[in-house]
A = this chain, B = another copy of it.
Amino acid sequence: MTATKTGELTALARQLRVDSVRAAAAAGSGHPTSSMSAADLMAVLLAHHLRYDFERPEHPGNDRFILSKGHASPLLYSAYKAAGAINETELLTYRRLGSRLEGHPTPRRLPWVEVATGSLGQGLPVGVGMALSGKRLERIGYRVWVLCGDSELTEGSVWEAAEHAGCEHLDNLTAIVDVNRLGQRGPTRHGWDLDAYARRFQAFGWHTIKVDGHDVDDIDRAYAEARSTLGQPTAILARTVKGKGVESVQNREGLHGKPLPDAEEAIEELGGVHDVRVEVQSPPAARMLHAVRSGHLELPRFETGDKVATRDAYGQALAALGTARDDVVALDGEVSDSTRSEFFAKEHPERFFECYIAEQQMVAAAVGLAARGWVPYASTFAAFFTRAYDFIRMASISGADINLAGSHAGVAIGADGPSQMGLEDLAMFRAVHDSTVLYPCDANQTAHLVAAMAEQRGVSYLRTSRGEMPVLYGPGEEFPVGGSKVLRMSDADRLTVVAAGVTVHEALAASRLLEREGIPVRVIDLYSVKPVDRRTLRTAAERTGCLLTVEDHRPEGGLGDAVMDAFVDGAPVPRVVRLAVRTMPGSAAPEEQLHAEGIDAESIAAAVRLLVEQAVVR
């Protein structure tokens, strides 16, 4: 059918409800009532407004649809079935082992899903990233439709998105809010007070439309109005009923996330099972996603011995990468003068996105841009990526290829104090599935790693430092991800010092001190914290018997723990001693901070001497 008439739209919506009930019943779990409230909204969108080629999900002209209320996945999958993308049999595999139809939709498994949802308040910020791509970069007329729940509007990230979209005049973005009045545990703050939501969106510069979310004609007019609104994003606030259509469950508390008590009866009440199909409009012809010009990469070159901050090298390398590759974009959280992403911004302003102090929106925009084929680099202080950890975690579920650079790592920043020090970032990023975690100690190494990140899959993280450090490596040196550098070694080494970033320089200084005392030590620069260079670490362990790890990070989850990744398969484990940041630092000069935490050259040398005296080492 081509659902053009009220009756046909209503029949389609009814079928989406029936199929939602069936999927959840087959699974024995899921959120049918949250699906039923939004069925009319979905039916009208699918039949009249979405332009999408299900056979070509990669079509550049396709509209983008994000189910921000990801728990309403039965509705999404029922829509896929109505559009002919999946069949009846697959629908009923919902939530089973091996099924593509997960409890919350994920793009790795289903080609029509733009981004993983299920942590609330993330769909709109990611949608902003896609809308920015459409408007500023691709310049294709696709629209981004985001179906939100009312409960999730309490998440601050939604208002970061509202602010960004409003100020950027993203009129290609529509938020559809399914105001069904009931959250998981009970009523929302505002119930059916659509005006409460309208006031908030309007204050952030949005056009708003209030509708009866079960009146298909009303909905139809609202979508048309959203499409024709210029200069502003639109929020459609739809009054709906949770569990709509089934008397025994509708508008009742205590039924969130549960299959209907009597599915068969409910299906009958909803009109029974029919094979209602919908013809989704095709997108207009569009150029393939930005023809990427990949030119010759001229990385910045630094002279060994010069003093350069790795954050400076980051900025310069990123600018160079942007010159070589048209698909590289950069984002920053209002600290580009500190992270040095300003170097990129100056050379490639059209591909730079200022996100102001809104780290959640920044990472979400990176995810949205990555979903559209861009290679994003987003930067802020290492400490402030903690603000976006949920988005980073969800990005890995999406399988998004994003690059994040955290500056001002560790106590080495000096006087600004602990609020500005990234001291948990390695732990946070190491725990992300399939992540890459890099921590360079010099400018040439940084430049090469910035370039390497563009080739990595998943979430990649680069940790940079505030202060200047001597350039150790020549510009021609290679730094493979998963590698390390042995900076000092001899057959007589009594132990191995494993360091990264600022502590590499301290470890080298300690080794020179110790050398003079007749205590040779091996020094490894473990710039690839994840994956870790197992072979080099194991060789060092075999030869020297003891590893002393030194890191400008908390003792948990950082470099010391990363070193252990080389020894968790039952192989012999060396003795290990760990130096890390164990107090709550205050303000002090960088060198005072390193000394106070026992991670400077003097402290490393003292630790080695103690181990020698105690005969822990050979």
Contacts and interface: CB of A to CB of B under 8 A. Distances in A.
Nearest to A160: B156
Nearest to A155: B357
A428 to B, nearest CB: 6
A183 interface: yes
A132 B95 CA distance: 41
Interface stretch (A54-62, A299-307, A317-325, A584-592): A584-592
Interface stretch (A273-281, A289-297, A411-419): A411-419
Contacts of A188: 356
B417 A104 contact: yes
Interface in A540-572: 546, 554-558, 560-562, 564-565, 567-572
A183 to B, nearest CB: 5
Contacts of A570: 546, 575-577, 611, 614, 616
Contact of A29 (B184, B361, B415, B424): B415
Given A185-B337, A568-B578, A584-B397, A156 B154 contact: no
Interface string A172-192: 000000000001110011000
B118 A393 contact: no
A571 B575 contact: yes
Interface stretch (A44-52, A234-242, A382-390, A499-507): A382-390
Contact of A576 (B120, B556, B564): B564
Contact of A389 (B116, B389, B583): B389
Contacts of A189: 163, 167, 356
A83 interface: no
A58 to B, nearest CB: 22
A497 to B, nearest CB: 13
A427 B336 contact: no
A596 to B, nearest CB: 8
Given A106-B418, A120-B357, A184-B335, A160 B151 contact: no
Nearest to A204: B200
Contact of A432 (B98, B202, B384, B424): B424
Contact of A97 (B121, B574, B592): B592
A535 interface: no
A204 B162 CA distance: 14
20 contacts: A97-B586, A118-B418, A151-B334, A154-B160, A154-B163, A156-B358, A183-B356, A184-B337, A185-B337, A185-B338, A393-B424, A424-B428, A427-B556, A427-B557, A433-B583, A556-B565, A560-B564, A564-B576, A568-B576, A571-B575
Interface of A: 27, 29-30, 70, 94-99, 101-104, 106, 108-109, 116-121, 151-152, 154-160, 163, 167, 183-185, 188-189, 199-200, 202-204, 254, 334-338, 342, 356-358, 360-361, 383-384, 386-387, 389-390, 392-394, 396-397, 399, 414-420, 423-424, 427-428, 430-434, 530, 546, 554-558, 560-562, 564-565, 567-578, 583-584, 586-589, 592, 596, 611, 614, 616
Task: Please give me the 6 A-B residue pairs with the lowest Cβ-Cβ distance, nearest first.
Answer: A156-B156, A118-B419, A557-B557, A427-B431, A97-B588, A203-B203
